[in-house]
Amino acid sequence: MDNSTRQIISVLVNNQPGVLSRIAGLFSRRGYNIDGLTVCATEDERWSRMTITVNAAPGTVKQIVAQLEKQEDVVKVMDFDVKNVAARELLLIKVAVGGAKRSEIVDLCALFGAKAIDVTTDSMMLELTGSTDKVDNFVKTLSSYDILEMARTGGAALARGAGSLAKSIEN
Amino acid sequence: MYARYACATGMLISGAKILVNCLEEQGIRNIFGYPGASILSVYDALADSSIRHVLTAHEQGACFAAEGYARRSGRAGVVLATSGPGATNLVTGLADAYMDSIPLVAITGNVPLAQLGHDSFQEVDIFDVSMPVTKYGIIVKSASEIAPAVRRAFALAESGRKGPVLVDIPSDILDCSAEYEPTSPARALPVAACEEQIEHAAEMIDRAERPLIYAGGGAAWSGAENRLMELARKIKAPVVTSYMGIGCCPPDYERALGVLSDINIKATEAISECDLFITVGARFNSRYGAFNGLRKRRIPLLQLDSDKAEIDKNLTAAAAVVGDAALSLDALLPLVGEKGDAEWAYDSMPDAKEENRGTRIIRALTHAMGRNITVTTDVGLHQEWAAHNAEIYSPRRFLTSGGLGAMGFGMGAAIGAHFASGDTCLVVTGDGSFNMNFNELTTAVKHHVPLVVAVLNNNSLGMIRKLQTARGTRNMSASSLYLGVDYAALAEAMGARGVTVAEEEDVTEAVERALDGSLPVVIDFKLPINTGI
């Protein structure tokens, strides 16, 4: 497990009932850990896109891809080379701050490019979009304050350049 | 609502009738199953069809029978069950088919569409329950989806690495009507490996001095046994098989090493000596020490498999050929050079095969019954004894639960195998396994299935007792049976013939006496409790 790296796997699947549980079940059955999972509609209504973040050794990632590729409902699998991919997560975080401390938070938001989207006399809700590392750092920085609660999405990722998963099927 | 629409348009047939027509399209002659309220419409439609439905004693027996049918015939077996308990009783059979890559189409009725999800009477979400043990599953939600679903289920079950597929149909959908257009089923063509992989494999084989072949179910299912032996003879390779590969290498081949297991010491030694381990349609399990030896000695591994996900899964391959075994071997054979005889140390090893009353009984039975039988087994010590002692000369004639190790497999599987082939079948079982599914003896009697059921009765769960002995367990009550059942009388009570063979009787004479009479017969062979332990 020492040579584990974070890897993003993008999977185009048939948009029909049962597919999510079949794919999620494959991961739990075979003991692959999912760090993040996002499922969304695509530009083509026949398909959904699952963006799965795993922390695994290269051999395991290869096995995950092979297991995914043989699923009947999987149309295309791509394990992204992290350098050539744009990957983003969304964070909503609520901090108990009021009065003079609020300006410190506003400064931090400016540094990270986060936005305040709800403010009360003694709390603030912030929104940040960014890479996993950036979101991790932001949460870490805020941890010296009183964090009330947070919600964080899995990753969304696309390969850079003009290509697409759908195009790679046609080829 | 659907039914009313159907009546208005005319020219349509019911979902149940469409389902049965689709089975006929596939050339299915026999199916196995058990009725219930949610699947009754299919039974009505079957009454007017050319398909024979074999009613078993239990859905598990039906599922094993469908498996036996598939394993013997090479085509998908079909099992039919109702919703709820009918469907859940299939699960062990589905798991067995999944582990051994057996093509199976399981059709379950479910509660009416509007009642799904309401915890209705006899409702189970079998689609979800079966997901980890099926290649694919389909819930049909309208009558017009039945034909495409059934056709797809057969295509999936029988293509690539084979496996079970579930089709779940709410009962009211079976009564709705839709248009039906007959088609002849499109058979999936086997996929050939790419040339580069073949060339690389040939180079590896040419470089090796002592290659060894490990043949599995993939070789048997693609009908590659003759090509496999041609390759073995050309490169003078010893051949070991997995349980699924039994029959691929005839026992009279001079370098036949039998079935791999830890008690096959010669094969284990040969594997440690080889300098290239070639698998043909066989996977690596956690069961045998020989595989750890491969890893430790860094013996290069050449994998031929139709499933890309098997490559590097449990052991890392030096090279792989991904495609149908028969096509791969066809392409490989002309590229591989002939080899001379290599020296193997295993050659000079004494034949240390395990020998006991059980193994002698199995040899005597297969010898007396000839080569044209199908042997099925249950799971326990007798399974190993049968695998090592039944002389099997072609694939599809030794049917056993390899991956799952399901006790109770043998009775149903033998009934299915008989319907696929007309064969007389030998069921090798033990008192533990027979107790699980002897109910299917009633099915064999009703349908005049010629079974010879050899119960190797040692009053215990022998394999468990063996494990407990190795662990130093003192209290063995969990594996002690001592049920005092008179299996011969039980067989007679169910309408079969029954014979008891005492511990001290001569094996050959006892077998001769027991086989002389009508079938099905149950032979209760009394064995000392510590036989083979």
Task: Give me the domains of chain A, ranges plus CATH numbers.
Answer: 5-80 (3.30.70.260), 86-156 (3.30.70.1150)
Q: Which region among A9-13, A77-81, B328-332 has the lowest average model confidence (pLDDT)?
A: A77-81
Residue B11 has a pLDDT of: 62
Cβ contacts of A29 on chain B, cutoff 8 Å: 132
Q: Is the pLDDT of residue B337 over 60?
A: yes
Count CB pairs under 8 A between chains A and B.
33
Cβ contacts of B316 on chain A, cutoff 8 Å: 59
A83 touches chain B (CB under 8 A): no
As a whole number of angstroms, the distance between CA A132 and CA A137 comes to 9
Residue A167 has a pLDDT of: 82
For the structural domain made of B357-526, what CATH number should be given? Answer: 3.40.50.970
B347 touches chain A (CB under 8 A): no
B201 touches chain A (CB under 8 A): no
Selecting from A21, A59, A67 the residue whose C-beta is nearest the C-beta of B131 gives A21
Q: Which residue of A has its CA nearest to B157?
A: A72
Q: Which phi and psi angles does B38 have, rounded to 5°? A: -80, -10
Selecting from A21, A63, A69 the residue whose C-beta is nearest the C-beta of B313 gives A63
pLDDT digits (tens, 9 = 90+) for B423-451: 999 999 999 999 999 999 999 999 999 99
As a whole number of angstroms, the distance between CA B374 and CA B389 comes to 14
pLDDT band at B185 (very low <50, low <70, confident <90, very high): confident
- Domains B15-180 and B357-526 fall in the same CATH topology: yes
A31 touches chain B (CB under 8 A): no
| Averaged pLDDT for residues B160-167 | 96
Dig out the tokens for B494 from the structure. 């169910």
Q: Which residue of A has its CA nearest to B125?
A: A18
A22 touches chain B (CB under 8 A): yes
B135 touches chain A (CB under 8 A): yes
CB B279 within 8 A of CB B216: yes
As a whole number of angstroms, the distance between CA B114 and CA B369 comes to 55
Residue B272 has a pLDDT of: 93
The B residues from 93 to 132 touching A (CB cutoff 8 Å) are 127-128, 131-132
Q: Is the pLDDT of residue B137 over 50?
A: yes
In b/e form, how buried is each residue of B488-525, taking b as 16+ CB within 10 angstroms?
A: bebbeebebbbbbbeeebebeebbeebbeeebbbbbbb
B307 touches chain A (CB under 8 A): yes
As a whole number of angstroms, the distance between CA A159 and CA B338 comes to 49
Q: Cis check for the bond before B520: say yes or no (omega within 30 of 0).
A: yes
Name the minimum distance, in Å, from the CA of A63 to any CA of chain B. Answer: 6
| Averaged pLDDT for residues A89-99 | 95
Q: Is the pLDDT of residue B9 over 80?
A: no
Q: Is the pLDDT of residue B4 over 70?
A: no
B311 touches chain A (CB under 8 A): yes
Q: Is the pLDDT of residue A1 over 80?
A: no
| Averaged pLDDT for residues B195-215 | 97
Distance separating the N- and C-terminal Cα atoms of chain B: 65
In CATH, B195-342 is 3.40.50.1220? yes
Q: Do A21 and B311 touch (CB under 8 A)?
A: no
Question: For B15-180, which CATH superfamily applies?
Answer: Thiamin diphosphate (ThDP)-binding fold, Pyr/PP domains (3.40.50.970)
Rg, Å, chain A Cα set: 19
Name the minimum distance, in Å, from the CA of A57 to any CA of chain B. Answer: 13
pLDDT digits (tens, 9 = 90+) for A32-44: 989 889 999 988 9
B139 touches chain A (CB under 8 A): yes
Q: Is the pLDDT of residue B8 over 50?
A: no
Residue A171 has a pLDDT of: 60
Q: Do A18 and B128 touch (CB under 8 A)?
A: yes
Q: Which residue of B has its CA nearest to A66?
A: B309
Cα–Cα–Cα angle for B306, B308, B313, rounded to 5 degrees? 120
pLDDT digits (tens, 9 = 90+) for B480-511: 999 999 999 999 999 999 999 999 999 999 99
Strands of the A34-41 sheet, one edge to the other = A34-41, A47-56, A5-14, A74-80
| Burial environment of residue B341 by CB neighbours within 10 A (0 to 12, 13 to 18, 19 or more) | exposed
- Choose among B179, B196, B32, B174: nearest CA to B111: B174
Q: Do B128 and A63 touch (CB under 8 A)?
A: no
CA A25 to chain centre: 19
| Averaged pLDDT for residues B265-285 | 93
A161 touches chain B (CB under 8 A): no
Q: Is the pLDDT of residue B2 over 90?
A: no
Domain borders along chain B are 15-180, 195-342, 357-526
| Averaged pLDDT for residues B131-155 | 97
pLDDT digits (tens, 9 = 90+) for A108-143: 999 999 999 999 999 999 999 999 899 999 999 999
Q: Do B132 and A69 touch (CB under 8 A)?
A: no
pLDDT digits (tens, 9 = 90+) for B68-100: 999 999 999 999 999 999 999 999 999 999 999
Selecting from A17, A66, A72 the residue whose C-beta is nearest the C-beta of B136 gives A72
Q: Do A17 and B131 touch (CB under 8 A)?
A: no
Name the minimum distance, in Å, from the CA of B131 to any CA of chain A. Answer: 7
Residue B10 has a pLDDT of: 42
What share of chain B has pLDDT > 70, as a percent? Answer: 98
As a whole number of angstroms, the distance between CA B458 and CA B449 comes to 26
Q: What is the ipTM for the molecules in this complex?
A: 0.84
Helix (H/G/I), strand (E/B), else coil: A53: strand
A123 touches chain B (CB under 8 A): no
